[in-house]
């Protein structure tokens, strides 16, 4: 068996989700190649070379790949695909955007958001927002899979010594053009990579009130997240959303503040190691999954918590 992983990166750094995907590949077994496709991304390739368990790093470094547009990256992956039994990508917005095109062009199914490897052809994935867990088997010749990071502990980013291979294929995308981006600038860790997350819900009341979570987050070195209700109410941008339609996280500590605990939110965080809920409604469903529940007015409890840390 031979596995191709499409690396998650921003042309400068290899993103941790790639290391979780490598862990899944290691469980499937066989040679593992990592494709780094981007522009001016040599540094990423060097990091991938050092990651544990990589046989070869394939580097496609060209200006046409700068924004990793799905149209041309999928065609590049297709050109490489005949050598592989499995093609994997992290289930990030980049992987989710691009990989289904690969599956369709190969005329095979895609298994999305796999959380467990049973064998080389059998995988476990959540459905219905994690309210049911399906075990699926595929007889497709090439197995195309996105990996949910929270299902796999990352391999070490160091100690590997893969061979670096430079690819020469240049595939342009004539029909899709990058116009611009607005990326949140934050000194805090990324939501999906954070060890501690402090999340706010509808109970925060307003976008301004969300700022009281910042002090706690800063003291804990935590990322700030939100429920869909808080996003829908316009308190915070959508990229903070944790849940079925947002990000799936599993930090060591998840502090849910003013979050009632709708099943769609629980779907995104219930694999956290320790869950704390602060809510004034003692009947809130969040308390059923919380290891430590505090029934209190968050506007008193949060500042008090910040002071106590």
- Tell me how far apart the alpha carbons of residues 198 and 195 are, in angstroms, rounded to a whole number: 10
Is residue 175 exposed (0-12), middle (13-18) or buried (19+ Cβ within 10 Å)?
Answer: exposed
Element (H, E) at 26: helix 17-28
Of 71, 271, 34, 60, nearest in space to 157 by CA: 34
Alpha-carbon distance of 280 to 239, in angstroms, equals 26
Does 297 bind other proteins (CB under 8 A)? Our answer is no
Binds other proteins (CB under 8 A): choice among 82, 83, 132, 187: 132
Residue 206 touching other proteins (CB under 8 A)? no
Which residue lies nearer to other proteins by CB, 32 or 250? 250
Counting contacts by CB under 8 A, is residue 160 touching other proteins? no
Which residue lies nearer to other proteins by CB, 11 or 173? 173
Tokens 């992983």 belong to: 5
State the minimum distance, in angstroms, from the CB of residue 192 to other proteins. 7
For other proteins, give the closer residue by CB, 52 or 150: 150
116-119 and 122-127 as β-strands: parallel, antiparallel, unpaired? antiparallel
Q: Which is nearer to other proteins, 19 or 111 (CB)?
A: 111
288 contributes a contact to other proteins by CB under 8 A: yes
Q: Is residue 11 within 8 Å of 62, Cβ to Cβ?
A: no
Residue 280 in contact with other proteins, rule: CB under 8 A: no
CA–CA gap between residue 251 and residue 204 (Å, rounded): 22
**Residue 162 or residue 210: which is nearer to other proteins going by CB?**
210
Which of 79, 304 has the CB closer to other proteins? 304
* From candidates 211, 274, 281, 297, binder to other proteins by CB under 8 A: 274
d(CA 11, CA 32): 21
Q: Is residue 47 at the binding interface for other proteins, with CB under 8 A as the rule?
A: no
Give the number of other Cβ atoms within 10 Å of residue 13's Cβ: 12
Q: Which of residues 55-84 bind other proteins (CB under 8 A)?
A: 67, 69-71, 74
Gap between the Cα atoms of 161 and 54, Å rounded? 7
Binding-site member from 228, 230, 259, 268 for other proteins (CB under 8 A): 228
Q: How far is CA 198 from CA 140, 209, 244, 250, in A?
A: 41, 14, 18, 12
- Least distance to other proteins from the beta carbon of 197, Å? 11
- Which of 43, 64, 212, 296 binds other proteins (CB under 8 A)? It is 296
DSSP summary character for residue 78: H
12 binds other proteins (CB under 8 A): no
Count of CB atoms situated within 10 Å of the CB of 142: 17
CB 6 within 8 A of CB 35: yes
Q: 222 with 278: CB under 8 angstroms?
A: no
Among 20, 47, 62, 92, binds other proteins (CB under 8 A): 92
Q: Which of 156, 169, 176, 206 binds other proteins (CB under 8 A)?
A: 176
Site map (CB under 8 A) of other proteins, residues 241-270, x = contact:
---xx-x----xx---------xx-----x
Please report whether residue 174 would count as binding other proteins according to CB under 8 A: yes
Whole-angstrom distance, CA of residue 144 vs CA of residue 100 = 8
Stretch that binds other proteins, among 57-65, 129-137, 163-171, 203-211 (CB under 8 A): 129-137
If the CB atoms of residues 49 and 114 are measured against other proteins, the closer one turns out to be: 114
173 sits near other proteins (criterion: CB under 8 A): yes
């Amino acid at each position: 068996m031979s596995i191709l992983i499409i690396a998650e990166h921003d042309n400068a750094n290899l993103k941790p989700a790639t290391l979780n995907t490598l862990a899944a590949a290691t469980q499937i077994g066989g040679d593992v190649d990592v494709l780094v496709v981007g522009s001016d991304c040599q540094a990423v390739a060097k990091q991938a070379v050092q990651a544990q368990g990589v046989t070869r790093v394939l580097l496609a470094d060209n200006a046409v790949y700068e924004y990793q547009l799905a149209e041309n990256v999928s065609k590049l992956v297709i050109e490489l695909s005949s050598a592989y039994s499995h093609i994997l990508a992290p289930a990030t917005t980049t992987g989710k955007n691009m990989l289904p095109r690969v599956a369709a062009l190969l005329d095979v199914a895609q298994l999305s958001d796999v959380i467990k490897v049973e064998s080389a052809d059998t995988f476990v994935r959540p459905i219905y927002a994690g309210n049911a867990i399906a075990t699926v088997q595929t007889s497709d010749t090439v197995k195309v899979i996105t990996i949910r990071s929270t299902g796999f502990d990352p391999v070490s980013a160091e100690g590997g010594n893969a061979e670096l291979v430079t690819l020469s294929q240049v595939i342009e995308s004539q029909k899709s053009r990058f116009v611009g981006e607005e990326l949140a600038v934050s000194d805090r860790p990324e939501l999906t990579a954070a060890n501690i997350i402090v999340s706010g819900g509808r109970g925060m009341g307003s976008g301004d009130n969300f700022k009281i979570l910042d002090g706690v987050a800063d003291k804990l070195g935590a990322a700030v997240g939100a429920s869909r209700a808080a996003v829908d109410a316009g308190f915070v941008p959508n990229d903070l959303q944790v849940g079925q339609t947002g990000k799936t996280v599993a930090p060591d500590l998840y502090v849910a503040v003013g979050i009632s605990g709708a099943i769609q939110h629980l779907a995104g965080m219930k694999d956290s190691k320790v869950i704390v809920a602060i809510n004034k409604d003692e009947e809130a469903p969040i308390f059923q999954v919380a290891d430590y529940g505090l029934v209190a007015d968050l506007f008193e409890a949060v500042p008090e918590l910040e002071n106590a840390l």
